[in-house]
Structure formats: C-alpha cells, structure tokens
Structure 1
C-alpha cells in the first residue's frame, strides 16, 4: 500500500488472480519468481490478455514448453523478457551481422559474471530449486544463450560443466559450455555468481571472416568493432551507440547522451505495445515464448552433458509435440 501511494498507483493487489480476472487490464507483465511464471502467464493469456513473462520462461524445459504451447493457442501477443536484445549496441551488432559486415560467423564467446552469490549465509528464492529451477544457469546463463541465438543462430550441440561451490547450496553456482551452432560456428558460454569483483559483467565477442565485434554490459553504450580492410594497426574502433541513426535513439536524447540498464525494459515494453497496437510479430528482435522454451532446452542439455560427461545434441520439440 505504501509503495502504491508513493508512486501514484490507483489500485494494487497481492494476488495475481485479481489481475487475470480484471477486464480493464489488457496486458499482464509477469516479473515474479520463476515458480510463478507458468501458471499466472497461462491463465492471463487464456483470459485474453497479452503477456510479457520474465525469463526463464519456466523452471524446466517441460514447463517452458507448456507455457509456449498454451499461450500460443490463445493467439495473444507474447514476449519473453530477454531484455538484453533491447540494448542499442546489441541491436546495432545484429544490424551489422545482418548486413554481412562480419562475413561468415565463426566464433562466439560469451560470459555473464556477477559476485553477489559468494555469501554462504545469503537467503533468497534464487537458491531454492523449487522456486528457481536452477542457479546461475537460469539466472545468467540463459541471457548468454539467448543472445548467442539472436546474434549467431541456433545451437546444434553443447558440452558442459555445471558446478556448485558453496557448501549446502542446492542450485548451480557456475556453468561452462562449449557449443556448436547449426551454421558450423563454434563458441563458449560461461556464467557464475561467484566472480568476485564482477558486478554485472555480461561480455561477448563474435569473430567472422571479415570482422569482429565485442561488447561489455558494464560499458553498455559502446560497441567495439573491427572490420577487415581497415588499418589493422589501429585495432578495434569504439562506437558510442548514441547517434540519431542508431537503434532506439529516436526515443531518447540528443546525440552523445547515454542510456542505462533500466532503459532496456522501456524498449522491451514499447516493442510489445507497438506489436499489439499495429498487429506486428514480436519476432525477430523480441524473444517469443518459443525462444524462451529453446533457451530452457539448451540449458537442460548443458546439465545433461555435465552429468553424463558427453556432448549433447540438441533436439527441440515442435509446438504441438507432447500434447
């Protein structure tokens, strides 16, 4: 009640059922714990509301597939909350790749490192497998997986290591994976919440036959670009992605004025609202629930690979498979 008053909300509720049954509401934004992603999201869609669900779409691949299947059957617009697709520098990278500036893509290296999970006394739902489903894999690793799919393409196989370092913890603390893409490109994925000194280091690099890109979320307004044919003694160029013709900049300030992490959510919601208003698909730049399901399937393949000590081939289910 105090928060509602402070921020000027007319109504509030602590029960998601109240939102689902409220005919005045047309869009359901689910930012709850992972254990509350599936049921409320499905219920909202089946009540005719468009839905935005935070990642991971479900705690397991089965749960994610069920959300995708049930929501797709309703015909409402839906978006999975992979907000890093809406960083201007990431969108510029996608444009350069689509234009062929990098040539044939060969390598992807992505890592997402934080350090807040190092405290063994910390008590949060993110360390409860019943609520979270997984640890660093579902929290951070899925972002790397989704960005790799968005920029490079679909995965064909993974070979992973999943580790828990903190005694008594029931979810993973760190994951490492070597991956191959359907295109033939190869890559590595890493995520952990135990990298001391790393607050929000989401970094990735892509190498192609004609150029390379590098990005660090801690310098999110910059994209490092190297294109073949330029003076090789100069190395990478730093592009400040704040020009008027850069992605999303028509929403914001004059050239040179930077945006922040919170703005990615503004871009994300705007993308969904525009799709609803104009009848557009949220894909390819927005993550669909199929994207959310596929990220979950890849994550589980990494876990199976670690447990079995072997490379796992990816097998994705169709929308109707398992009905």
Structure 2
C-alpha cells in the first residue's frame, strides 16, 4: 500500500478549486509514488468553507491557518491565497517542516521572497511555485525542442498576456487593483507567468526597460464579499483610487544575447485569458497560444525550399510530456490538467527527494525582474539585474 501525504489547503476560491481538483485527479491518472489526501481545508468564513470542503472531498475544515500548520499530521501546506498573504503563511509552514505548494506570484517584493527561500532551505522542505503553464504538454515539448537545438541560436522572444476583465469603468475596486494587496497590476499578476516562461525557455534576463500606464484611475469601492469576484457589479457612487497599473510593457536583454518583449494588460477587449509567445532562432521558430493550448506552431529552416512554412504540432501524443497519461492521441486536454501535472511532479519530488521547478528561488528571480520593470517605468531608464 502506498504512503499517504496529508494536504492542508489555505484558501478556497478560484485557485482553491483548481488545486483541489489536481490533488484528487493526480493519483487517478498517474502512478504517483504516494497518495495525496485532502485532509483539511482552511478559510475565514465557515459556512462557505464547509460548502467548499464537502463539494471537493476535504475531510475537515479549519478557520485558523496557524492551527492548521501546527498539526503534526499535515505533510503539505497548499497556499491558494492572494499574494499579500503568502509570506506569513509560507514562513510558518516552512518552520513547521511542511512542504509547500504555493500559488504565484511568490510574494509582494524581493525582500519577502529572499526570506521565504532562506527559511525553506534552512528547514529542508520542498517548495514549489505554481507557474502551471510550464506543464502544458505543448510548452514542455517546446522546451525539449529548444534543448535539442531544433531552433538553433535564439534571437527573439515576444510574449503577450492579455485579458479584458476591467475595461468597464464600473468594475469595482477589488483587491487586485490595490497596491497594498496586489503590489502591482498585470506587471505582477500576468507578467510573472510570462517571465517564468521566458526563464524556462530562453534563460536569465540581464536588463529591463519598461512602460506602464493607467486608463481608469478611480473605481467604485467594493465591499469584502465583492472583492473576491471578477464579476462587474455596481456599488454606488463612492469611488476609490486605483493604485496599480492597468498595462505594462517591457523590453529586455537576455544573458545569452537574445532580446525580448513582454506585454501585460487587462484592457485587451475580447481577450479573456490569452497568453502567447513567439521564439525566433537561427534554425527555426516556435509559437504558442494558450487559447489553443494543445497546439505548438513550428517552423524549420531545414525544410526544403518551396515546402517551408509553420506546421501545427498537436501535443496530445505519447511523445509529448504528460500527454500519454490522459486520452488517446488527438483528444485534447485543458487548463486544469497543468495543475494535475504539477501535483504529480511535486509528490514525486517529496518521495524521491528530487528537485522541482519552478521553486522559490525561481520565484525570487521572477520578482526581481518585475521590480526592475516597475523601477524602469518610474525612472524612465534601463535597469540592470
């Protein structure tokens, strides 16, 4: 009989559901070396917490995260909270010897991130930062192709992460639009994913130039209940200041000589959650679009003259990482499956004492780039890392 790993999750909204699904599905589709047990769900509001726990199969509930962390029967703390709450919970979990599965972005600033990494390393626990897009089969296969030299020397990285959920000026002032709870806008929330992918696929960034802007400077004040929702609601005439940017653009130099661009915005009408990247090299190119997440576009300069062009690789066959554990070739998978892949790799890292990426060290590097971008926009100069 396989060993069990008891999981305690802190947070039960959007990411709480995504993580719960992953913990449940991982051992059903993959031969995990241990079985995750949905032991305790933790949140502030007992009624909605109880409903969440019953729906997803969590055995117990707790409204005090400190009590959860102190329990000797908990092996893993899953932090499915907004970023301003990561720091305190992660430090306590690490000091209690719990392995940590944490949502992105890692922290509110690099100082917090440095301490979180230091405490995790001192206590020798596994720490994973959930930049889940690395684990879509198409992106994982793109990494394999790059490592095999299929596109040669990389010249260009072009990335955009576009959403449109705050275009309406009556959308309320939620926590995502306040510096004290979000640190920044799409530069933090969206570009954290984009920078992680760039680090994963291209390499380290050495310099950053940036531009940020606000399109709507005041919004209706939201109450606590509304602040957790991304649905537009009217809350009366009282207005509050938006203290984060609405859009951010970055231009970067990579250590390997490539150059890159990043666009992150919540004002791209018609784009609900579109993440795209393009990579251009001396031997070929790769293009990915999250809205078509099972596909990877590949161009090879080695193809015969007259036959060159972008081809579509459907990343659903056994040759593509993770794909063989799901459905027959040609049957697509979705957004939630990347979370399952992360859980599988995380459980394996715990049981086999191996590394898992991205970890808090990667999270620190990402935040350093994001901070450099904000500083570059503020000072109107290039910032070196």
Same fold judged by TM-score > 0.5?
Answer: yes
Shift of 1:158: 0.7
Q: 2:352 aligns with which of 267, 270, 278?
A: 278
Shift of 1:42: 1.2
SS at match of 2:286: strand
Find out whether 1:117 has 2:191 as its counterpart: no
Moved more, 225-234 or 252-261: 225-234
How many angstroms apart in 2 are the aligned matches of 1:9 and 1:177? 42
Find out whether 1:8 has 2:24 as its counterpart: no
Change (3 A) 1:119 1:67: farther
**Corresponding position of 1:212:** 285
**Corresponding position of 2:78:** 29
CA RMSD of aligned residues (A): 1.1
TM-score, normalising length: structure 2: 0.79
Find out whether 1:202 has 2:275 as its counterpart: yes
SS at match of 2:172: coil
TM-score, normalising length: structure 1: 0.94
1:158-213 CA deviation, whole Å, 9 max, x = no partner? 11001121122111111001100000100101101111100111000001100100
**Corresponding position of 2:257:** 184
Moved more, 305-314 or 123-132: 123-132
Shift of 1:5: 2.2
CA contact (8 A) 2:300 2:309 kept: no
Find out whether 1:260 has 2:334 as its counterpart: yes
Moved more, 251-260 or 202-211: 251-260
Q: Report runs of 4+ in structure 1 exceeding 3 Å deviation.
A: 231-234
Aligned residues: 311
Shift of 1:139: 0.8
SS at match of 2:60: coil
Moved more, 76-85 or 215-224: 76-85
Find out whether 1:129 has 2:179 as its counterpart: yes
**Corresponding position of 1:318:** none
CA contact (8 A) 2:249 2:261 kept: yes
How many angstroms apart in 1 are the aligned matches of 2:372 and 2:173? 28
Which structure's CA Rg is the greater one?
2
Find out whether 1:221 has 2:294 as its counterpart: yes
Q: 2:322 aligns with which of 233, 240, 248?
A: 248
Shift of 1:8: 2.8
